[in-house]
Structure 1
Amino acid sequence: MDNDVLAYRVLLEKRKENAPFWEKKVLTVEEAAEYTGIGRTKIRQIIMKGDCPFAVTNGVQVCVIRDKFIDYLDKQFRI
């Protein structure tokens, strides 16, 4: 790859890492737990139930789409 492209890619990665998790569109399970106060284990249980509207996989890592997760939580009577 071109050096300029590589430098820009590194800059984008640093910017993504420095962003606070409440501004991110996609969160890790750990960030989602911190954001909502729900435990990581409980979030993973909800994801593993199947037909989860807010989870996507990024290779090996499971990611949570923040807006869809908040909508899901708003509709739940009990977690």
Structure 2
Amino acid sequence: MKKIPICEKSNLTLKEAAAYSVIGINKLRDLTSDRNCRFVLWVGNKRLIKRRLFDQFIEQEYSI
């Protein structure tokens, strides 16, 4: 199976998002647990991070 680089993926797992953004997995869980979180995609119990919206969120935030 061909491995796709993180920068080309549209959705990231929490582990990939943590490596991509240098934000801890626990903090990402806190951020994505909010009902109004725009960059989380729930697939059953699995949460995926929408990379493009996550990038926009990070650019707009002063601190997390």
TM-score scaled by length of structure 1: 0.75
Structure with bigger gyration radius: 1
Structure 2, unaligned runs of 5 or more = none
- In the alignment, which residue of structure 1 is the partner of 2:30? 45
Provide the secondary structure at the position in 1 that maps to 2:63.
coil
- Compute the RMSD of aligned alpha carbons: 1.0
Answer 1 or 2: which has greater helix percent. Answer: 1
The 5 A counterparts of 1:14-25 are: 14-15=1-2, 18-25=3-10
Q: Percent identity?
A: 30
1:60 equivalent in alignment to 2:37: no
Task: Determine which structure has greater relative contact order: mean sequence separation of CA pairs < 8 Å that are 6+ residues apart, divided by chain length.
Answer: 2
**d(CA) in 1 for partners of 2:47, 2:20:** 16
**Distance across 2 between alignment mates of 1:35 and 1:68:** 14
- Extract unaligned runs of 5+ from structure 1: 1-13
